[in-house]
Chains A and B, each alone.
Chain A
Amino acid sequence: MGELVGTSPCAGVLPLTIGDVQAVEVELGHLTSIAPFAGQATAASVALEAAHGMPLPKANCTTGKEGARAIWFGRDMALLAGPTCDPAVAKHAALTDQSDAWAAVTLSGPSAEDVLARLVPVDLRSVSFKRGHTARTLLKHMNGSVTRLGPESFLILVFRSMARTLAHDLKEAMEAVAARG
C-alpha cells in the first residue's frame, strides 16, 4: 500500500490575513459527539467530568479549556474536542467519532466581530456573547458552530465538505470589512 498523506480540510485555502483579521485552520484533536440517552444527561455529565475534568455544557455554552473542550452542539448533544472520549461515558450516551467530519477555523483580530456580523445572524458582540459562549447557527448559508474563545477570537466549525466555501465566505467578509478602513 502506498504512503498516504493526510490533508487538512482547509489545506491550500487558509491561513488568510486581511486587514487586522486572521483566519487560521486549527487541529482540535479528536472530535466526539456525546448524545445522552433519555433521562441520563446528569449521569453522562458526571462520567464526562470524572474522565475529562469538565461537565456537559448547558445550551449555548462550553466547558473545559483549550486542548479538552466540550462544546454544546445542539439539542441534547455536545461535542468533545481534544481527547479520545473515555468509554465510560458510553454507558450513558451515544458517542460518535466525528474527527474528520469538521473543518475548524479560528477567526481573530480587532475586527473579527465585524467580519462575523456579515455572515452570522446572531449578535456575537461581547456584551451578549461572552467568552465560552457558543451558538449553533448559520455562516452565510452554511450550518455551523461558532464559539467565542477570547475578546477578539472565535472558533468556527463547519462540515468538512464546506471548508472551501467557508474560506471563500470569510475572505469576502474580511475584504469588505478591511475596505471600510
Chain B
Amino acid sequence: MRLTCPICGARDRREFYYQGDAVALDRPAPGAGVQAWDDYVHLRDNPAGPRRELWHHEAGCGAWLVVERNTTTHEVHGVTLAMAVAEARR
C-alpha cells in the first residue's frame, strides 16, 4: 500500500503511522456535554468500506494527513494535509 503525501509524494505504507478515524478533527465544544465527549473520546464505528482516517507521515515529513480510503477495495481516494482541512473550516 502506498499513500501520496501532499508534501513528500507517493510513499510506502511503512513510513506512516495509523491513528484511526479522523474524529479528532471534530472535537466537541468544551461545554458540549458528557454524551458528546463520551462519544468523541470512546465510541467508534467499525464499518467496512469508505473511511476517513488520520495518518501521520512519521518517518517522512512529519505532517498529519486525512486519508480517504476504502477498506473493502483498498482504493485510496484522497490524501489531504490535516492542517488544510482544519483551516478550511475556520
Contact = CB atoms under 8 A, between A and B. Distances in A.
Interface in B1-54: 7-9, 11-12, 14-15
Contact of B61 (A59, A122, A138): A59
Nearest to B63: A75
A136 interface: yes
A77 B12 CA distance: 22
Task: Give the secondary structure class of B's interface.
Answer: loop
B7 A75 contact: yes
Contacts of A143: 58-59
A136 B59 contact: yes
A30 B6 CA distance: 30
B8 A121 contact: no
Contact of A59 (B8, B12, B14, B15): B8
Interface string B65-88: 000000000000000000000000
B7 A137 contact: no
Interface residues of A, number: 12
A99 interface: no
Contact of B9 (A60, A75, A138): A60
A74 interface: yes
Contacts of B12: 121-122, 138
Contacts of A121: 11-12, 14-15
Nearest to A60: B8
Interface of A: 59-60, 74-75, 77, 121-122, 135-138, 143
Interface of B: 7-9, 11-12, 14-15, 58-63
Q: Closest 7 A-B residue pairs measured CB to CB? A: A121-B12, A75-B61, A75-B63, A74-B62, A138-B59, A143-B59, A74-B61
